[in-house]
């Protein structure tokens, strides 16, 4: 926990409150792989560090994050996590500069919107289950994004709905790495405790069980580290460009 608090705060100070929002998206071809849940997890961790966060809920028909926020407000859970529904990626991007971080919760099965979200994002997270039935379409989606201008380094997989077989988890990691992609550390199992927390408007790090919270923190930490690395790399390349233009 402590380490990512430090990382997140110092990095925001560097950003100085101005400039463009960091954009992170959660997308998948398959439905129900925990996109909305991961979007809420990440949003909660940044909001808890007083970042100005917004979830852009692009799944208009379900409004999963939007409804979750209503439950969160109803149960007076702090911090509040603003969620807004947007009919298009472009509309959401217009308000991006008002936030430190904008988190896209994508709809499943919508390849053109998914491409547009990923192209605008500093990091795209693809959650997937462990079966080849799940991994195959997830990799197909990643390849499609890579072919359409999204750098592979900006794509990362999250292993979700995992069982208790370490061998199955390792096999899934190897499958994705062999396909040319990185996988977040940690995994998310399907647990009643997570579902109940979500029903109450809580994020995965806010359950009643320390062990579940810790497990979710590991995944959140992985996302934060990844975002932090990508932001530093971007800063470095900006500095290099400035140096080049001065010389």
Ligand X SMILES: Nc1ncnc2c1ncn2[C@@H]1O[C@H](COP(=O)(O)OP(=O)(O)OP(=O)(O)O)[C@@H](O)[C@H]1O
Q: Where do contacts with ligand X occur on this chain (CB under 6 A)? A: 28, 31-37, 59, 62, 64, 108, 188, 190-191, 194-195, 198
Question: Is residue 37 close enough to count as binding Mg ion by CB under 5 A?
Answer: no
For β-strands 188-189 and 155-162, DSSP reports them as: parallel
Interaction partner, residue 72 (ligand X, Mg ion, none; CB < 5-8 Å by kind): none
Question: Is residue 36 close enough to count as binding Mg ion by CB under 5 A?
Answer: yes
- Does residue 39 contact residue 65 with C-beta atoms inside 8 Å? yes
SS3 228: helix
Minimum Å gap between C-beta 197 and ligand X is: 9
Q: Which structure tokens are listed for 204?
A: 């995965």
Minimum Å gap between C-beta 41 and Mg ion is: 13
- Does residue 78 contact residue 50 with C-beta atoms inside 8 Å? no
Interaction partner, residue 19 (ligand X, Mg ion, none; CB < 5-8 Å by kind): none
Nearest-angstrom CA–CA distance, 29 and 34? 12
**HEC string for 102-131:** EEEECCCCCHHHHHHHHHHCCEEEEEECCC
Among 25, 64, 128, 221, indicate the residue that binds Mg ion (CB under 5 A).
64
**HEC string for 41-58:** HHHHHHHCCCCCEEEEEC
Minimum Å gap between C-beta 68 and ligand X is: 9
Minimum Å gap between C-beta 161 and ligand X is: 7
CA torsion, points 208, 211, 217, 222, in degrees to nearest 10? -150
Minimum Å gap between C-beta 84 and ligand X is: 16
Interaction partner, residue 213 (ligand X, Mg ion, none; CB < 5-8 Å by kind): none
Residue nearer to Mg ion on the CB measure, 64 or 221: 64
Minimum Å gap between C-beta 15 and ligand X is: 28
Q: Which stretch binds Mg ion (CB under 5 A): 14-22, 63-71, 75-83, 189-197?
A: 63-71
Residue nearer to ligand X on the CB measure, 214 or 234: 214
- Does residue 184 contact residue 159 with C-beta atoms inside 8 Å? yes
- Does residue 106 contact residue 26 with C-beta atoms inside 8 Å? yes
Sign of CA dihedral 193, 195, 199, 202: positive
Interaction partner, residue 97 (Mg ion, ligand X, none; CB < 5-8 Å by kind): none
Q: Which single residue brings its beta carbon nearest to Mg ion?
A: 36
Kindly list the residues in this chain that would bind Mg ion in the complex (CB under 5 A). Answer: 35-36, 64
């Amino acid at each position: 926990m402590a380490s990512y608090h430090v990382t997140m705060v110092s990095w925001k100070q560097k950003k100085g409150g101005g400039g463009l929002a960091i954009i992170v998206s959660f997308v998948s071809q398959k439905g129900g792989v925990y996109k909305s849940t991961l979007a809420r997890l990440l949003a909660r961790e940044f909001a808890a560090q007083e970042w100005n966060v917004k979830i852009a809920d692009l799944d208009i028909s379900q409004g999963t994050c939007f409804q979750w926020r209503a439950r969160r407000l109803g149960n007076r859970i702090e911090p509040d996590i603003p969620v807004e529904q947007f009919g298009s990626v472009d509309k959401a991007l217009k308000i991006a500069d008002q936030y430190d971080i904008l988190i896209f919760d994508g709809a499943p099965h919508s390849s053109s919107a998914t491409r547009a979200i990923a192209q605008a994002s500093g990091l795209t997270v693809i959650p997937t289950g462990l079966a080849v039935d799940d991994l195959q379409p997830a990799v197909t989606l990643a390849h499609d994004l890579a072919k359409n201008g999204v750098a592979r380094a900006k794509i990362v997989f999250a292993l979700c709905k995992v069982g208790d077989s370490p061998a199955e988890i390792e096999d899934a990691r190897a499958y994705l790495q062999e396909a040319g992609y990185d996988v977040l550390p940690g995994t998310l199992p399907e647990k009643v405790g997570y579902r109940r927390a979500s029903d109450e408007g809580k994020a995965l790090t806010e359950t009643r069980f320390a062990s579940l919270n810790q497990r979710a923190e590991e995944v959140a930490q992985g996302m934060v580290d990844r975002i932090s690395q990508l932001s530093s790399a971007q800063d470095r390349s900006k500095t290099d460009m400035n140096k080049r233009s001065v010389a």
